[in-house]
Amino acid sequence: MKCLVAFLLTLFIWQSAWAEQNHLDTHIFAELPVQHNGRIKPMDSFARFYLRTFSGDAVVDGMTADDWLADLIFTPERAYGRAVFDVNNPNLRLALDLPERARHHYSFLEIAAAMEAHQEMVNSILSAQEKNVTDPAQQQLISLYANMTAFLDISRSLSLVLPVFRVEDAALARQIGVPAGQNFSYLEMMRRRAQYLSLAQSVLKYAGNHPDARQVVLLQIGAQLEHMEADKQSQILRIVPPAWQPDGNSWLSPWAMLNTGQGAPQSAALLQAWTRMAQAYQENNATEWKYAGENIFQQTLSLAGGQIRPYALSAEYMYNHAYLFAVSLAFYLAAFLLLLGARRYRAFYYVSFALLVCGFLSHFVGEALRIYIMARPPVGTLYESIIFVGLIVVAGSLLLEMRSRRGLGLAIGALSGFALQAIGMGFAGGDTMEPLVAVLNTNFWLATHVIAITTGYGCCLLTGILGHIYLLQKILQPLHHERLQITSRLMLGAALAALFFALTGTMLGGIWADQSWGRFWGWDPKENGALLIVLWLLWMLHGRLSGMLRANGFAMAAAAAVIVVALSWFGVNLLNVGLHSYGFTSGIAINLFAFIALEMIFITTCGVILYRRSRHP
Amino acid sequence: MHAYRLIRWMAEARSFALGLLWLMAILVLGTATEKTQGLYAAQRVYFSSYIIWLGGLIPLPGLLTTVAFIFTSLVCKLALERWRMKHLGTIIIHIGAAVLLLGGFLTACFSREGSMLIPPGESRNYLEDYQHVELAVTPLGGAQPEIIFTEAQLNAGSKLNNLAIPFAIDPVTWCRNCGLERLPQPVTEGNPHGVAINFIFKSLPHDPVEEQNRAGLTFRLLGAGQSDGLYAVFQDMPIPEIVMAGGKKYLLALRPVRASLPFAIQLLHFQEDLYPGTDKPRAYQSDVLVNDHGLLWHSLISMNEPLRYHGYTFYQSSFLQSDGEQTATVLAVVKNNGRLFPYIAGVIIAAGLLIHLAQRLGRRCAL
C-alpha cells in the first residue's frame, strides 16, 4: 500500500510541479499536518472544510482552498478584503443592506461593516435562544456570525510570528533591542518586553499633548500590542503537537501554546520555522518557502512522536485532489450513454464495458484510499454506506455481465453506480472522515457485521433492479422467452446472494450486540430493518418454492425488495431512536416517501397489466 | 387423519410464507410504534405478546404466537422430510433456524434485565427496573427489612397495611408520569406535610423514553398519631420524606423496582475520553470492583467490553453528570440463560450453507 501511495504521489508531484511553475508550491503547505475535529489531517483538508463552510464553493476568486488558507494565515490583511462569505438568503442581504451581486459573496470587511451598522438588530438575534430563532434568514445570520468568528480566529493563528512591528529610528531600535528599519514579530517584541516597558515608562512620562516622533512610535507599539490581546483567543488552527501534556494528544494553536506556557525548545523551533514560511510567502521566495515547509513537516513529525502517519497525510492530499468518486460518476454516465448506441455499433459495447471497469477501478481506489487514511474498515457512517453499496452493486453487475454478455449488467451497473454516487455526493457534507462515536469505534465488528450488512443491501438492490427489468421485459416483449429466463435466473442468484449476506450480517450484528451489551436481540429499529430484509427474501424464496409466487409474482416481490432496502437503510434513521441513530438525517423523509410511493405505483401497474394479459391473452 | 393433514399443511413452504408475511407486518407496525410510544410499549404490545388487541377489540396473533407458528411449521417440515443426501444442506439450515427460534423463545421467557446507577466510590447490590416503580418504607436505625408496596397496589387505590409498620397508607392520587404544580396558596386542610403543602401532581402523558417518566403519589397516612395527614412523594425527590411513628423514623420513597444481585459492585473510577480538541466521546470506561461475599474481583467495563460475572452481563450504558463532573456511571445489566443458542444456531446454519453450496457446486461439476 505504501509503495502504491508513494508511486501515485510521485506522479502527482511531478504533474503539479509542472503545472505550477513560477509560483509558490502550495503542495508543500497543503500537506502539513493539523489537528482538527479530533483527528490529524493535512492542511489541505482543513482548508477545504473551511472554504466550503464559508463560501459553499471549492474555489473562490480563482484560488484553491490551499491558496486561500495560506493567504489567510500569512497575509490576513489582504484576506479580509476577499469576498469568501456566501450570503445566499435574499432577506438577509436586504436586512444587512448588502449590495446585490451575481454570486452573493462578500468579504469579511464588508459584512463586519454591515453588522456594525445594524448592531442592535444583529445583537438581538445573536443573544436570543437558538430554538426561538426559526426564520431561515435569521438562522443564516447566526451561522454567518459563527463563520466570521471562525474566520477571524484562523486569520490570527500565526499573528504572533508575523512581522507586523517596525521601528525606523535606529537609536530607539537599539534601545529596545530590535533591528532598525526591519519588520519584526509579536514574539520578538515580547522578548524585548522589559526593555520596551521601562523605556516607554520613562519616555512617556514626559509626553504632553504633542508627543514627539519617538513617543509616537512607542505609543503605536503599545496600541498594537493591546490590539493583539484579542488574538490570544485564536485556537482553531492546532499545528503544534504538545511537548508535554497529561492526556498527551491534544494539539495546540500557536497562541494557545504561548498562553498556557506549554512551549518547549522544540516547539519554539517549530514556530521559528513557521515564521520563515510566513516570510517566504510574503516575499514570494520559492526556495525559502520549500525549505521552511519541509522543516516544519520534519519538526512536527518528531514532536508528535508517532501520532502522525506521513503517508496517510499524502494519501489524503491525493484523495482530496483526485476526486475519484466524481471521476467514477463520470465514467458510469459515459458507460451508460455509450451502451445506448451499442445495438447499432458493437464496438460501443466494448468501450462501454471498458468505461464501466474504469469507473469501478476509480471507485475502488477511492475506497482503498479511505481505508488507508482512516485506518479502519470503509463503512462507519451513512455516507460511507452509500458509497460502499454503490461499489458492491457495480461489482455485482460486472459479474452479471460476465455471465450474460448482453449489456444487461452494464446497464444496471452504470445506472445504479451513477445514481448511488450522485446520492452519496448529496450526503457528503463537511469532513467525511470524521472519527466515529464511541460505540462504533471497533474495527473488528465494522469489518465483519457492517460490511456483510451493506453487501447485503447491495445484493438486495441488485435483485430489485433485476425485478424491475424482468417486469419491463415481460410487458414490452413477452415472447422473448430466452431473455426472460436469463433475467429470471440472474434475479434468483442475486436474491440468494442477498439472503446470504443479509443473514450473515444480521447474525453477526446479534453476536456483536451479545458480546457488547449482553443481549442478542433488542428490537432496535435498525435490527428490525435488517430482519425485515432477511424475512422478505425468505418469503420470496419460499413463496416461489411453494408456488404461492409464480414468475410474475416473484419478479414483483423482487422489485419490491428495493422498497424494503430503502426502509431499512434510510427509513429507520428517520425514527431517530435506538442504537443506530448515528445516521439521523431529517431532510430525506420526503424523498424517501416519494420514492416508495413511485415504486409502489410502478409495481402495482406492472402487476395489473400482467394479470389482465394473463386473463385475456 | 385430520391431524396428519394439518401437519402436512403446516410443513408446506406456503404456511411458512404466510407466517412470515404476518411477522413482517408486526415488525413494521412495532417499529413504527417505537417512535411514537417508545421501545417498551412496542415490546409489550407487539414483540413480547401472544395476542395483539387491535383497537382494544379485535384479537390478532402477537409476535410470540407467530414465531410459535413458524417454529411448528419448521418442526413439521423437518418431521415429514424425506431425508435425502441431496437435501442435506437445506435440512441442516432449517434445523439451525429452529434452534435459533427456540433460543429466542427461551430468552423472551427467562431473561432478566435492569440497570445500575453507581456513584464513584459507592457500592450497589441490586438492579433497577426500567419500567416499574415501587413504594419502599425503610425503617431508619436498626436492621429491620424494608416494606415494599408494588405499583399494582398503589394503582388499585385501596388502603395499604403491613404488620411490620405501625401505620397505614391510603393512596389519594397516583400518576405514572407527573408534573409538579405549585399551588397559589398552601393547602391547609387535612394536615399536609412536605411537598403536599405547596404542590399538587398533574398527570402527564406517558413519555416514550421510559426513564423520563416520573411517578408521583399523594396519600393519607393513618394510625401514626401526630404524623397523620396528607403526604406527597415522587421519584428522585431531592429531600426524602421521613415519617415519625411509634417512636421510630421511617423513610418513604418512590423508586424503580429493585431486584437483588447475589454480589455487590463498587465503582472505583469513571472515565470519559474525548477525541482530542472536541466534545465527541471516544470511549467511556468504569473501573469496578466486584464483591462476591468476600471474594474481590477487579474489572474494567468499557464500550463493547462488558463485564460478565455469574451469568450476568454488565455493560457501559451511559453516565450522569452535573456541572461537568461525572456523578454516577450507569450500567445496563442482563441475565440471559438462552445466550448460547444463537451461537449454536449460527454454527449449524453456516455448516448447512457450506454443505449446500458444496453440493450444488459438486452437481454442477458433475454435469
Q: What is the pTM of this model?
A: 0.85
Sheet holding B168-175, edge to edge: B168-175, B216-222, B229-234
- On whether both B143 and B252 belong to a single domain, the answer is yes
- Distance from A514 to chain B by nearest Cα, in Å? 8
Dist CA A494 CA A408 (whole Å): 14
Residue B346: domain span: 2-111+340-366
Q: Give the containing element (helix H, strand E) for B145.
A: none
Can you give the length of chain A in residues?
617
Q: Do A518 and B276 touch (CB under 8 A)?
A: no
Cell 444583529 -> residue: A122
Cell 413458524 -> residue: B70
Mean pLDDT confidence for B268-278? 83
- On whether both B80 and B140 belong to a single domain, the answer is no
Task: Name every chain B residue with its beta carbon within 8 A of the beta carbon of A442.
Answer: 304
Quick check: A271 and A240 in contact, CB under 8 A? Answer: yes
Dist CA A26 CA A467 (whole Å): 51
Which of A311, A319, A408 is closest to A369 using CA atoms?
A: A319
- On whether both B18 and B106 belong to a single domain, the answer is yes
Task: Name every chain B residue with its beta carbon within 8 A of the beta carbon of A543.
Answer: 13-14, 17
Q: Which residues contact A500 (CB under 8 A, 6 or more apart)?
A: A456, A459, B353
Dist CA A238 CA B276 (whole Å): 11
- On whether both B277 and B350 belong to a single domain, the answer is no
What backbone torsions phi and psi does residue A105 show, to the nearest 5 degrees?
-105, 135
- On whether both B176 and B203 belong to a single domain, the answer is yes
Torsion of CA A265, A185, A79, A236, to 10 degrees: 30
The answer to whether residue A578 scores a pLDDT higher than 70 is no
- On whether both B239 and B272 belong to a single domain, the answer is no
Mean pLDDT confidence for A363-374? 96
The answer to whether residue A468 scores a pLDDT higher than 90 is yes
Task: Name every chain B residue with its beta carbon within 8 A of the beta carbon of A252.
Answer: none
Cell 502527482 -> residue: A12
Pick the last residue of a domain from B199, B234, B258: B258
The answer to whether residue B207 scores a pLDDT higher than 50 is yes
State pLDDT tens for residues A232-291: 888 899 999 887 665 557 888 999 888 877 667 888 889 889 989 998 998 888 999 999
Dist CA B44 CA B37 (whole Å): 11
The answer to whether residue B50 scores a pLDDT higher than 60 is yes
The answer to whether residue A437 scores a pLDDT higher than 80 is no
* CATH of residue B284: 2.60.98.10
State pLDDT tens for residues B134-175: 999 988 887 788 888 988 888 887 888 888 888 889 998 888
Rg (CA), chain A: 31
The proportion of chain A whose per-residue pLDDT surpasses 70, expressed as a percent, equals 91
Which of B305, B287, B113 is closest to A516 using CA atoms?
A: B305
Cell 504632553 -> residue: A208
Q: Do B31 and A514 touch (CB under 8 A)?
A: no
The proportion of chain A whose per-residue pLDDT surpasses 90, expressed as a percent, equals 50
Which of A428, A302, A319 is closest to A33 using CA atoms?
A: A302
Chain B, window 85-144: residues with a beta carbon less than 8 angstroms from a chain A beta carbon: 103-104, 107, 111, 113
Dist CA A110 CA A106 (whole Å): 6
What backbone torsions phi and psi does residue A61 show, to the nearest 5 degrees?
60, 25
Q: Which residues contact B327 (CB under 8 A, 6 or more apart)?
A: B119, B120, B320, B321
**What pLDDT does residue B367 have?**
54
Distances (CA, A) of A156 to A3, A150, A253, A268, B262: 38, 10, 10, 18, 60
Residue type, A581: S
Q: Give the containing element (helix H, strand E) for B214.
A: none
Euclidean distance between the first and the last CA atom of chain B, given in angstroms as a whole number: 42
The answer to whether residue B194 scores a pLDDT higher than 50 is yes
- Distance from A532 to chain B by nearest Cα, in Å? 6
State pLDDT tens for residues B106-138: 888 888 889 999 999 999 999 998 888 999 998
- On whether both B143 and B253 belong to a single domain, the answer is yes
Q: Do B334 and A38 touch (CB under 8 A)?
A: no
**What pLDDT does residue A177 have?**
83
- On whether both B82 and B53 belong to a single domain, the answer is yes
Residue type, A57: D
Cell 428522585 -> residue: B236
At what angle are helices A286-304 and A265-283 packed, to 10 degrees? 160
- On whether both B184 and B231 belong to a single domain, the answer is yes
Mean pLDDT confidence for B271-297? 85
Pick the last residue of a domain from B196, B229, B258: B258
- On whether both B45 and B92 belong to a single domain, the answer is yes
**What pLDDT does residue A244 have?**
67
Cell 483538508 -> residue: A45
- On whether both B117 and B152 belong to a single domain, the answer is no
Mean pLDDT (chain A, rounded) = 87
Predicted complex ipTM: 0.85
**What is the total count of domains within chain B?**
3
Q: Nine-digit cell at A437?
A: 462515536
Mean pLDDT confidence for A21-34? 82
Cell 468501450 -> residue: A351
**What pLDDT does residue A587 have?**
60
Q: Nine-digit cell at A440?
A: 462504533
Rg (CA), chain B: 27
- On whether both B117 and B237 belong to a single domain, the answer is no
**What pLDDT does residue A329 have?**
96
